[in-house]
Amino acid sequence: MPLTTIGFDADDTLWHSENHFMLTTERFCELLGPWCDASHQERIESELIEIERRNLKLLGYGAKAFTLSMVETAIEVSDGQIPASAIKEILMWGHDLLKHPVQLLDGVADTLEVLADSFRLLLITKGDLLHQESKIAQSGIAQKFSGIEILSNKTPGSYLRVLDQHSVQSAEFLMVGNSVRSDVLPVLEIGARAVHVPYHLTWALEEDDSDDVAVAEFQTLSDIAELPKLISSLDL
Amino acid sequence: MPLTTIGFDADDTLWHSENHFMLTTERFCELLGPWCDASHQERIESELIEIERRNLKLLGYGAKAFTLSMVETAIEVSDGQIPASAIKEILMWGHDLLKHPVQLLDGVADTLEVLADSFRLLLITKGDLLHQESKIAQSGIAQKFSGIEILSNKTPGSYLRVLDQHSVQSAEFLMVGNSVRSDVLPVLEIGARAVHVPYHLTWALEEDDSDDVAVAEFQTLSDIAELPKLISSLDL
């Protein structure tokens, strides 16, 4: 069945995102320095990731969940010694993350322009509904997509629901994204194609599940600009 | 044009929600008592609402936004004196709000059962994507709806998008909900019908915009169980 529809992840596939979170995490580790003992300092980042992991099912993805997990980590790591002024600073970092202007990745606008001539494009992202809508509206590329789907999580079932809503069969769909766990493996599982375009940073909770990756076969591009060439070389 | 489709709001229309937020607000005011001077104590609740209002455009609706606004209010009202242990307590109230079991309002299950025989039912709610999905899954009534739409906000434009997605014209649509601002006025504005079923509590930021209400005409029911009778009496 010929390819008709291409899905794109948004954060770290179309625009920068993880770099803002990483920068905030660095600031967070510095902020906590004086409020925890030396043995704890190296563990701040891993404590934050553990608390994010614990909260994921309840708080989901996105900047609000991250901010709540930072506050919780700050209290835990400082053994309740962190002052309110430092917590206020963390809250404002959360606001900054939500307000940060959208910066498209290199090559995105041109690649979408080329592909939109021959394929139906869908934007399929997960995270905070309001924040994702605001970034899409700001991005200047919303009109390239015939459908925009914001999911709470990316699973084989949620991809199938999206394809069903747009009357697309798995065999005619290809997904493009930076996360093997979210954008590649569940898509391969439903019998569709996927292309991995890594971002230079990966959030620990998006890291590959190596057993699954070992058995999965998919193509990886270092630059989204190579996508039209790869697609035209596929046996469609 | 005959009525074919009925939309239902979820929080405080199908199940209890605002009572949990109100109870948490009461606890919040008690918690802050010792950390602010007497003249401030009466103003804690209105400070919280002001901070929620200020954050609404950035944080949106739902329990995570509410928790972040409570933490910010606690720091502001206590002039930075609130200890981390109290902030930890607020974070855990946020978790409790997200984990609270869904309690259907009286009459909801039977009313949906009756209406589903003659109409297509849609669930149209706003708020946090993951939390709303989790409540819908828990509610036991998800299968009554032929569509479930979670919006970041309820505006005439967002209702039109939902109706368009489901190929429903405004003239064949009726919306049922507890909020005049979110479930009635924008629906009347697109030429559809709306029925207001008030909950006994209304969040300050959902309160009616009285100028608009004065010119709008809609029916109000004290009990959702009266809905099938009202609908059968409409000139369809």
Instruction: Tell me which of A99, A131, A164 is where a domain ends.
Output: A99
- Which residues in A lie closer than 8 A to residue B99 (C-beta atoms)? 58
Does the pLDDT at position A213 exceed 90? Answer: no
Using CB atoms within 10 A of its CB, is residue B88 exposed (0-12), middle (13-18) or buried (19+)?
middle
Regarding whether B95 and B201 lie in a shared domain, the answer is: no
Is A95 in CB contact (< 8 Å) with chain B? yes
User: Are B63 and B155 members of one domain?
Assistant: no
Report residue A200's pLDDT band, with 50, 70 and 90 as the boundaries: confident
Determine the Cα angle at B64 with ends B144 and A157, to 5°: 45
Asked if residue B86 and residue B193 are part of one domain, the reply reads no
Structure tokens at B222: 């004290």
Residue A54: what are its φ and ψ, rounded to 5°?
A: -65, -35
Task: Specify whether A27 is located in the same domain as A127.
Answer: no
Task: Give residue B84's pLDDT band: very low, low, confident or very high (50, 70, 90).
Answer: very high
pLDDT category, B91, cuts 50, 70, 90?
Answer: very high
| A35-86 confidence digits (pLDDT tens) | 887 777 778 999 999 999 999 999 999 999 999 999 999 999 999 999 999 9
Report the mean per-residue pLDDT for chain A: 93
The interface residues of chain B toward chain A in range 46-65, judged by CB-CB distance below 8 A, are 58-60, 64-65
For A67, which of B68, B83, B88 is closest by C-beta distance? B68
Number of domains in chain A: 2
Confidence of residue A236 (pLDDT cuts 50, 70, 90): low
Beta-carbon contacts of residue A21 (< 8 Å; ≥ 6 apart):
A63, A66, A97, A203
Q: What is the mean pLDDT of residues A94-116?
A: 96
CATH classification of the domain holding A211: 3.40.50.1000
Q: In the beta sheet, which residues pair with residue B120?
A: B5
pLDDT (0 to 100) of residue B7: 98
Same domain, B227 and B197: yes
| Residue whose C-alpha is closest to residue B8's, from B167, B201, B162 | B162
| A166 touches B at CB < 8 Å | no
Q: Categorize the per-residue pLDDT at A162 as very low, low, confident or very high, splitting at 50, 70 and 90.
A: very high
Same domain, A131 and A66: no
Closest-CA residue of A relative to B61 is A130
Is B97 in CB contact (< 8 Å) with chain A? Answer: no
Last residue of a domain, one of A74, A99, A124: A99
Q: Which residues of B touch A95 (CB under 8 A)?
A: 58
For residues B124 and B191, state if they share a domain: yes
Asked if residue B187 has pLDDT above 80, the reply is: yes
Residues B114 and B221 in one domain: yes
Q: Residue B41 — very low, low, confident or very high, per pLDDT cuts 50/70/90?
A: confident
Mean confidence (pLDDT) of chain B: 93
| CATH code, domain with A28 | 1.10.150.240
Q: Which domain holds residue A193?
A: 5-16+103-233
Spatial CB neighbours of A235, under 8 Å, sequence gap ≥ 6: none
Where are the extended beta strands (E) located within B111-185?
120-126, 147-151, 173-177
Q: What is the pLDDT of residue A214?
A: 67
Residues A110 and A222 reside in one and the same domain: yes
- Burial per residue of B169-190, b for 16 or more beta-carbon CB atoms within 10 angstroms, e otherwise: ebebbbbbbbbbbbbbbbbbbb
Residues B10 and B125 in one domain: yes
Q: Residue B185 in 3-state DSSP?
A: helix
Question: How many secondary structure helices (H) and strands (E) does chain B include?
Answer: 11, 6
A143 in the same domain as A153: yes
A128 and A29: one domain?
A: no
Asked whether B100 and B17 are in contact (CB, 8 A), the reply is no
Q: How many CB pairs below 8 A link A and B?
A: 90
Tell me which of A46, A79, A99 is where a domain ends. Answer: A99
Q: Give residue-wise pLDDT tens across range B97-139.
A: 999 999 999 999 999 999 999 999 999 999 889 999 999 999 9
Residues of chain B with Cβ-Cβ distance to A154 below 8 Å are none
Closest partner residue to B72 (CB to CB) among A80, A85, A91 is A91
